Amino acid sequence: MIRIIAFSFILLCPMTALAQDPAQDPVKETATQKLATLNKEFSDANRKYREGLAKIKDRNERYAFMRKMNPSNQFAAKFLTLAEENPKDPAAFKALLTVLRSRSYVAMQKALSLLGTHHAGSKDVKQAFWSASRVNGAADFFRKVIKENKAPETVGAATYMLASSLARSRKKEELAEAEALFKTVNEKYADVTFGRGKLGAQANNALFKLIKLKIGSVAPDIEGEDVDGVKFKLSDYRGKVVVLDFWGDW
């Protein structure tokens, strides 16, 4: 009886080892690993692209090469696929940032939609704001962030970006909303640092342009000297057609 049990144990040991053999039970590649591989491929492709571009001297040939060979569009689709397969994974967020920085506008719109659906509440979503502002549908994305994010700094930045997006509109209701949003930024988020500085100062500048420099408004007075050193004011020419040419010599 003892011999039979021992023999059975010997037979079972190799079977157990075989079941645990990594070659027979491979670990599925994670989204982070896939992203690392894709980032390296993209980096290598960009290096070859720059090397090829540096060899071309003719301007027209350079433009043709840039349009045809720039790896941005090709890899945008690959990064987007990774994000679509793992939409809530942190690696997906990083992949979508790469897509937004590309020039593949169809992929950029899809990336922005995925960001709004799965990452609007993320603490890192501010990283996408400037790139997102270049894409159609940016206003809807910023509205989602304002609604779902809990970080005041992020909400303040999203409010400013939404206002900036609406300020480019020609619709009166959207321009009015932009003005109200800039005022909200001033009231609630003036001390938040974002982009070029404090949001309050940026909102004030944007309000000035929106209210004082819109088509049909009275231009603010300007004082200066002409090329002969004679002082003048813009208001001196009220009622006349004036062309202002600002230039400098550094």
pLDDT in tens, 198-231: 999 999 999 999 988 777 777 778 888 877 888 9
Residue 239's pLDDT is: 83
Residue-range domain boundaries for the chain: 29-119, 122-215
Q: In which region does residue 104 sit, left (phi positive, over 0), alpha (psi from -120 to 50) or beta (all else)?
A: beta
Reply yes or no on whether the pLDDT at 14 is more than 60: no
Q: How many CB atoms lie within 10 A of CB 122?
A: 18
Q: What is the mean pLDDT of the chain?
A: 87
Residue 8's pLDDT is: 44
Q: How many CB atoms lie within 10 A of CB 36?
A: 13
What is the Cα–Cα distance from 112 to 217, expressed in whole angstroms?
A: 35
What is the Cα–Cα distance from 67 to 75, expressed in whole angstroms?
A: 14
pLDDT tens, position by position, 144-166? 999 999 999 999 999 999 999 99
Give the pTM: 0.75
Q: Three-state SS for 47?
A: helix
Residues 94-103 have a mean pLDDT of: 94
pLDDT tens, position by position, 113-140? 999 999 999 999 999 999 999 998 899 9
Asked which of 4-8, 101-105, 138-142, 190-194 is least confident by mean pLDDT, the reply is 4-8
What is the Cα–Cα distance from 221 to 234, expressed in whole angstroms?
A: 6
Q: How many CB atoms lie within 10 A of CB 52?
A: 11
Residue 250's pLDDT is: 64
Reply yes or no on whether the pLDDT at 2 is more than 90: no
Q: Do the beta carbons of residue 119 and residue 125 sit within 8 Å? A: yes
Asked which of 4-13, 25-34, 120-129 is least confident by mean pLDDT, the reply is 4-13
**DSSP tag of 169:** -
Residue 133's pLDDT is: 94
